Structure 1
Amino acid sequence: MSVNSDDFCINITNDPDLYFPDGNLVILTRDEVGNHTYFRVHQSILLKHSKALSDHIFPDSPSPVRDLYDGVPLVEFQEDPRDLNTFLKFLYEPFYVFSAAPIQRGDPDIAFKMYGALKLADKFSIQPLKDTILSYIREDWPLTLQAWDEREAFYSRRLKNSPGSTMDDVAPEPASVIRLAREFESQILPVAFYHLSRLPVNATYGQHNQAPRYARGVRGYLLSPADREKASLGRERMLRWIVDRMESLMLDTWQCKGDEGCHVHIYWRVVVLHRSVIRSMDVLSTLRSMRSHKLERGTSEPVEDAVCHDCNGRWDQLLNDARCDFFNSLSSFFPDL
């Protein structure tokens, strides 16, 4: 049904999943353009999961005169109908089979899709739902370097096995994660900001057009000016860190035990590394790709630049150590998160 006027048209609908004929309560929500969606639910189900939710609807104060809709009491929520639909599906799941689960493990866009439902779970103290959503998000934003590498490899495999997809279809987007993490999971903010900092400032989520399918985007409208500034400052700090680290460890002190002149080749490796970091803005991936033994490619063949076996081993160890130290220093690149 719709209501028309000279200036606008408001759609009025009952939620197709959550309008039960025997429900004893109707919840009204409106979307951003004013369309009405009604949910007819059972107070007993709401009370089972959350006394705070039931108290919000039926406070202990003297009962006010309530409007009715379809013969039962009507209450209004300010949340978006899509968020309320997802939230209520979790409450009904043990008793009602839906055509699709409200949340799927492995969905790369969980932080964006579930933000509203997570806020409702927090508002009404439904801890199991909060824990479920946050546990799925933590999988995509690990706090150890090994787990980070495993997730990056996982996204690459997923993209390879998904013809016609882009990286935005198979990997999480940082701005929605940052928005959520600021309220509910602050420990993942450094890795989320690292990912944001390695993307071009004009990378728009889902709008790559001529860009390669491995390009990744950002929902820039979710970022505050302060977030953008932190990403820029973090990018600058990371570049300085890698320049200082590589020069102090290699150029000033490198000596080849076999006196084969390896320091010249090491110098050029550092030059290539700096250039690659500036081009990609991805320190961790660049350090990994610059190792002389490309284990991640399934081979142990050294690069062809006449560096001796001993110097290659030292080089690889220095890069591995730098990657670990860099990852463990992420919070220092983005202070005051």
Structure 2
Amino acid sequence: MSVDFEDCEACINITNDQELYFPDGNLVILTRDEAGNHTYFRVHQSILSKHSQALSDHMFPSSSPNSREIHDGVPLVEFQEDARDLNIFLKFLYEPFAAPLQRGDPDIAFKMFGALKLADKFLIEPLKDTILSYVREDWPQTLQGWDEREALYARRLKNSPKSIMDDVAPEPASVIRLARIFEPQLLIPAFYHLSRLPVNAVYGQPVQGSRSSRGVRTHLLSVEDREKAMVGRERMLRWFTDRLEAASLDTWQCSGGEACHVHIFWRVAVLHRSVIRSVDVLTTLRSMRSHKVERGTSQPVEDVVCPDCNARWDQLLADARRDFFDSLSTFFPNL
């Protein structure tokens, strides 16, 4: 039986995929979008089948009758997936060494989500592992790795004066969506990143015009995701406050008898204020090792602290950063 769409006015757009419609292909895959548009892929059963028996069985099920729908002279099978995702998926199978992945692309979790689901559906583990390996690079599990990635994004932004941070750094909602299904360990760093963003942060729209601000694809987040981020934010701030109180910084004593405690007092005040403003404990603790405080003005002021007290202060912040990172899982339980 042939398929004839010449009189089908409901089909708004009927096209062949520009890259994956081979004249000598022996199978046509049809996919439709919500608007009714049709996209056809003409492919080779042998190439697809060698990657996955599950995919071969889906295209040519043993229970199917001998009489199948025909399009352009070859059997037709329909997929429910989006045409763009199917295009990416098939490119992986046809050209594994020229796959549509670019090292350093910060948006892989969003762009490759559909292809990853197809790889999972048809049990193509090497393709799943390849895509996930790229995503993992942007969400390290160590503090050193986290700092290195943050420094990398800052360099990318500096070297791309026409870009905003969302162009060069990963976005958390797409990673959370992916991680819930395929890579749960990525949820903790992704939720930390989400928790430090303003509630009005929108992907691709810098807050107050700041190139360095980062956004989120809010439509990918559930109400529960937002609530978990808010709870995590509250727990982080409480942890930070408790940590400073436990350090007894208000009774700081200089071993050399200098008036270092006055300057330490100012540092603590600025540290509190900066964390409340940014809700980014890791970045704030790192930046406060510069030994400069604002003291309520717009201009940094170099304080005068002896070398011994500076070393103690730096060690205190370094220990706090390490312990804070190691405690991230306690801020976001039940993910």
Q: Which residue of the other structure, out of 208, 232, 238, is the alignment partner of 2:230?
A: 232
Deviation, structure 1 residue 64 = 5.6
Q: Which residue of the other structure, out of 264, 284, 287, is the alignment partner of 2:285?
A: 287
CA distance in 2, matches of 1:142, 1:18: 36
Match of 2:152 in 1: 154
CA distance in 1, matches of 2:96, 2:258: 70
Offset from partner CA, 1:77-128 (integer Å, 9 cap, x none): 1100000000000000059x7xxx4111111110000000000001111111
TM-score, normalising length: structure 1: 0.91
Query: Counterpart of 1:40 in 2: which secondary structure?
Result: strand
The unaligned stretches of length 5 or more in structure 1 are 295-302
Q: 1:64 to 1:208 in 2, by over 3 A?
A: farther
Deviation, structure 1 residue 32 = 2.9
Q: 1:20 to 1:9 in 2, by over 3 A?
A: closer
Whether contact under 8 Å (1:52, 1:124) holds in the other structure is yes
CA distance in 2, matches of 1:112, 1:78: 19
Deviation, structure 1 residue 207 = 1.9
Within 5 Å, give how 1:174-253 maps onto structure 2: 174-208=172-206, 210-251=208-249
- 2:276 aligned with 1:274, yes or no? no
Deviation, structure 1 residue 52 = 0.7
- 2:107 aligned with 1:76, yes or no? no
CA distance in 1, matches of 2:181, 2:251: 46
Deviation, structure 1 residue 240 = 0.6
CA distance in 2, matches of 1:135, 1:193: 19
Deviation, structure 1 residue 249 = 0.7
Provide the aligned length of Structure 1 versus Structure 2: 324
Query: Counterpart of 2:50 in 1: which secondary structure?
Result: helix
Q: 1:282 to 1:69 in 2, by over 3 A?
A: same
Deviation, structure 1 residue 264 = 2.7
Match of 2:92 in 1: 90
Match of 2:41 in 1: 39
Query: Counterpart of 1:152 in 2: which secondary structure?
Result: helix
Match of 1:118 in 2: 116
CA distance in 2, matches of 1:3, 1:283: 62
Whether contact under 8 Å (1:250, 1:266) holds in the other structure is no
- 2:14 aligned with 1:12, yes or no? yes
The unaligned stretches of length 5 or more in structure 2 are 293-300
Query: Counterpart of 1:10 in 2: which secondary structure?
Result: coil
Query: Counterpart of 1:245 in 2: which secondary structure?
Result: helix
CA distance in 2, matches of 1:11, 1:93: 28
CA distance in 1, matches of 2:211, 2:12: 39
Query: Counterpart of 2:180 in 1: which secondary structure?
Result: helix
CA distance in 2, matches of 1:94, 1:214: 35
CA distance in 1, matches of 2:166, 2:17: 30
TM-score, normalising length: structure 2: 0.92
Whether contact under 8 Å (1:167, 1:214) holds in the other structure is yes
Query: Counterpart of 1:237 in 2: which secondary structure?
Result: helix
Instruction: State the one-letter code of the partner of 2:89.
Output: F
CA distance in 1, matches of 2:38, 2:165: 35
Whether contact under 8 Å (2:291, 2:303) holds in the other structure is no
CA distance in 2, matches of 1:107, 1:22: 34
Deviation, structure 1 residue 319 = 0.2
CA distance in 2, matches of 1:85, 1:22: 18
CA distance in 1, matches of 2:11, 2:66: 31
Offset from partner CA, 1:15-45 (integer Å, 9 cap, x none): 0011111111111001232211000111101
Q: 1:181 to 1:329 in 2, by over 3 A?
A: same
What is the RMSD of the two structures over their aligned residues, measured on CA atoms? 2.0
CA distance in 2, matches of 1:45, 1:270: 64
Query: Counterpart of 1:290 in 2: which secondary structure?
Result: helix
CA distance in 2, matches of 1:281, 1:175: 18
Deviation, structure 1 residue 2 = 8.7
Q: Which residue of the other structure, out of 162, 165, 168, is the alignment partner of 2:166?
A: 168
Match of 2:302 in 1: 304
CA distance in 2, matches of 1:115, 1:147: 24
Query: Counterpart of 1:83 in 2: which secondary structure?
Result: helix
Q: Which residue of the other structure, out of 44, 50, 53, is the alignment partner of 1:51?
A: 53
Deviation, structure 1 residue 46 = 1.0
